[in-house]
Amino acid sequence: MATKPVVLVTRKLPEAVMARAAASYDARMNEADTQFGPDQVISKAQGCDAILCCSTEKFPAQVLSRLPESVRALATFSVGLEHIDLEAAKARGLIVTNTPDVLTDSTADITFLLLLAAARRAYEGERMLRQDAWDGWAPTQLLGVHLGAKRLGILGMGRIGRAVARRARGFDMEIHYHNRSRLPAQLEQGAIYHETPDSLLKVSQFLALNAPATPETEHFLNRARIALLPDGAIVVNTARGALVDDEALQEALKSGKLAAAGLDVFEGEPRIHGGYRSLDNVFILPHLGSATLETRNAMGFKCCDNLDAVFAGQEPPDRVV
């Protein structure tokens, strides 16, 4: 009987994914789902042919250089690659794969959940009921903002941005966007292109951040850019926490410059900026963008598909390095 490849699985994944990994590989599982630090990853990877990791494990150059020589591939259970030094991985000859495409709809759904929850003051309403503080319907109680006929600005019109636009059209919103390059007309579907982010911000009554985290987008939404938004605008972020200057956003929420915000991602998560907890006009979620069973299964199966290809001597379908 042929020896199965040895794969370190760094986090507890959905049952169907774990079952496939156990059937296909000699899988070293993290059943307790404790988060591994760099030294633990290096230690547990001894004798492994590959690592199936998550964004919670960091692979800077100094960690990659210490991985056992036996490790040939790193399959990350994510689309984002910020936790991996890709240049160092390439220099080491390590294959890196990710999980594109399968997160699109679930993340766009969360974007719209945040848009609606922030606009309609869902946190305040739910808290009122949970604290038994509701004394009945009133004509001016928790008045929010209607989405229909409003301008939605989308920063980053990739797959997720376009999926958000599709949902917004169902609410009769006017779609505006900025992207690194203008989309073909068949993908724009009537959306209005802005050559600069600043031009987009000036018209965005709602702003959805769907751009990747890069040195250029770090703290993109700062005081100066918030000032460009229309008064009473609503901001949502399901991309990366690093896109937002937390202090600037909180100042704008307190002053009334912004009516509300909806956030699913945070800089330094899970240690979010404590100021958000005391604000009534921010709706916050713990990074739930891809958190459906169907999506997480699909992500795990993509990881396995990529590793299967590596071990068969074939090109992985989602190779990035």
Q: What is the pLDDT of residue 153?
A: 99
In-domain check, residue 158: yes
In-domain check, residue 319: no
Is-contact 104 160, C-beta < 8 A?
A: yes
Same domain, 98 and 235: no
Q: Residue 25 gets which letter from DSSP? A: S
Same domain, 266 and 130: yes
In-domain check, residue 240: yes
Same domain, 50 and 90: yes
Given the structure tokens 């000699």, which residue do they identify? 26
Q: What is the mean pLDDT of the chain?
A: 97
Q: What is the pLDDT of residue 157?
A: 98
- Across the range 276-283, mean pLDDT stands at 98
In-domain check, residue 274: yes
Domain that holds residue 202: 104-284
Is-contact 47 71, C-beta < 8 A?
A: no
CATH at residue 165: 3.40.50.720
Model pTM score: 0.95
Statement: residue 260 has pLDDT above 60 = yes
Statement: residue 1 has pLDDT above 80 = no
In-domain check, residue 185: yes
Tell me, yes or no, if 176 is annotated catalytic.
Answer: no
Same domain, 110 and 209: yes
In-domain check, residue 247: yes
- 3 burial via Cβ count (<10 Å: 0-12, 13-18, 19+): exposed
Q: What is the pLDDT of residue 18?
A: 98
Same domain, 199 and 279: yes
Same domain, 126 and 220: yes
Same domain, 256 and 307: no
Is-contact 31 11, C-beta < 8 A?
A: no
Tell me, yes or no, if 20 is annotated catalytic.
Answer: no
Same domain, 54 and 113: no
Statement: residue 2 has pLDDT above 70 = no
Same domain, 88 and 237: no
In-domain check, residue 321: no
Output the furthest CA–CA distance in the chain (Å, rounded).
Answer: 74
- Which residue of the set 169, 182, 219, 287 is catalytic? 287
In-domain check, residue 316: no
Same domain, 274 and 125: yes
Tell me, yes or no, if 240 is annotated catalytic.
Answer: yes
- Which residue of the set 121, 194, 225, 240 is catalytic? 240
Statement: residue 131 has pLDDT above 90 = yes
- Across the range 290-317, mean pLDDT stands at 98
- Which residue of the set 219, 269, 273, 319 is catalytic? 269
Same domain, 180 and 109: yes
- Across the range 241-258, mean pLDDT stands at 98
Same domain, 252 and 264: yes
| Residue 164 φ/ψ, nearest 5 degrees | -65, -45
User: For the chain, how many structural domains are there in total?
Assistant: 2
